[in-house]
């Protein structure tokens, strides 16, 4: 029963760090939408934009499912913000015009996120670091893939020619694995690689630190519970001492009376 109650009141979903993460994804999705609508892009860059947009939509879908699961009144949630969360999770597939509408409605989702973020400005630094690292990861994969395509596509001797190659190369470079199957040959492509490697080391160091914090958290939680128990016992002792002092005073007053 305690596990169920703990799941019904999750600290991560209710934290400002999580709201900030969702807001960042909303902004990034709108940037992708504007890029596709108002700027001419090649088919390779379009593939990168649509891939990242699909991943963002999957995150929105999971967010909708979690919020629906923990909602006290699910029907009320569906009639107020739930329908917006659901529409926001629909990928903008060309054959479904409702997808375009869902992407525009993400503006309202972002406004709601700002409201929730302003209402709860208390969260651990680790949660903020995880949210920021995740946003930087998604943004870096998007911008790095587009940037390397701009520099490497069509260049003689380059092995990065389309969106799939670019996304794979960015992920491999950020994780500092370095398979060597795709290598930039231009100065601009190598500059992008240096930035990706630097960001990758910082990002995955943040992930490692968060995992370490999660492993240490149970011990800290137990210590906090013990401290709370000690505080309660001290309060009880103080109350008993006050009652004892009041009873002693009343006894002394009764003895002094003739």
User: The CATH number of the domain where 106 resides is what?
Assistant: 1.20.120
Is residue 222 classed as helix, strand or coil in its secondary structure? helix
Distance, C-alpha 7 to centroid of its chain: 18
pLDDT beneath 50: ranges in the chain: 1-10, 95-97, 122-123
Supply the pLDDT for residue 194: 92
Residue 105: domain span: 1-123
Residue 178 lies in a domain: no
Residue 160 lies in a domain: no
Residue 219 lies in a domain: no
Structure tokens at 241: 């001492």
Do 149 and 166 form a contact (C-beta atoms < 8 A)? Answer: yes
Supply the pLDDT for residue 249: 72
Residue 174 lies in a domain: no
Residue 202 lies in a domain: no
Residue 144 lies in a domain: no
Interatomic CA distance for residues 191 and 128, integer angstroms: 29
Report how many domains make up the chain: 1
Residue 73 lies in a domain: yes
82: number of CA atoms within 13 Å, CB side?
Answer: 15
Supply the pLDDT for residue 196: 92
Angle in degrees, 0-180, between the axes of helices 16-38 and 125-152, rounded to the nearest 10: 20
């Amino acid at each position: 029963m305690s596990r169920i109650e703990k799941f019904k009141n999750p600290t991560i979903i209710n934290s400002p760090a999580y709201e900030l993460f969702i807001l960042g994804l909303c902004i990034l999705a709108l940037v992708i939408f504007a890029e596709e609508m108002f700027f001419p892009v090649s088919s390779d860059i379009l593939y990168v934009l649509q891939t990242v947009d699909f991943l963002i939509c999957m995150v929105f879908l999971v967010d909708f499912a979690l919020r629906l699961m923990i909602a006290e009144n699910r029907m009320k949630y569906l009639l107020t913000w739930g329908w917006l969360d659901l529409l926001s999770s629909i990928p903008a597939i060309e054959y479904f015009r409702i997808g375009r509408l869902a992407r525009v409605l993400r503006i309202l989702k972002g406004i709601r996120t700002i409201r929730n973020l302003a209402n709860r400005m208390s969260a651990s630094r680790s949660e903020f670091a995880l949210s920021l690292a995740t946003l930087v990861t998604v943004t870096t994969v998007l911008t790095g893939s587009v940037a390397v395509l701009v520099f490497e596509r069509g260049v003689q001797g380059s092995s990065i020619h389309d969106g799939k190659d670019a996304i794979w190369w960015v992920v491999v470079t950020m994780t500092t694995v370095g398979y060597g199957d795709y290598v930039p040959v231009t100065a601009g492509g190598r500059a992008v690689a240096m930035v990706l490697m630097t960001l990758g080391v910082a990002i995955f160091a943040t992930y490692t630190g968060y995992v370490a914090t999660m492993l240490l958290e149970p011990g800290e939680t137990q210590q906090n519970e013990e401290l709370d128990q000690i505080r309660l016992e001290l309060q009880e002792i103080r109350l008993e001492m006050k009652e004892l002092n009041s009873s002693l005073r009343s006894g002394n007053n009764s003895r002094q009376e003739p």
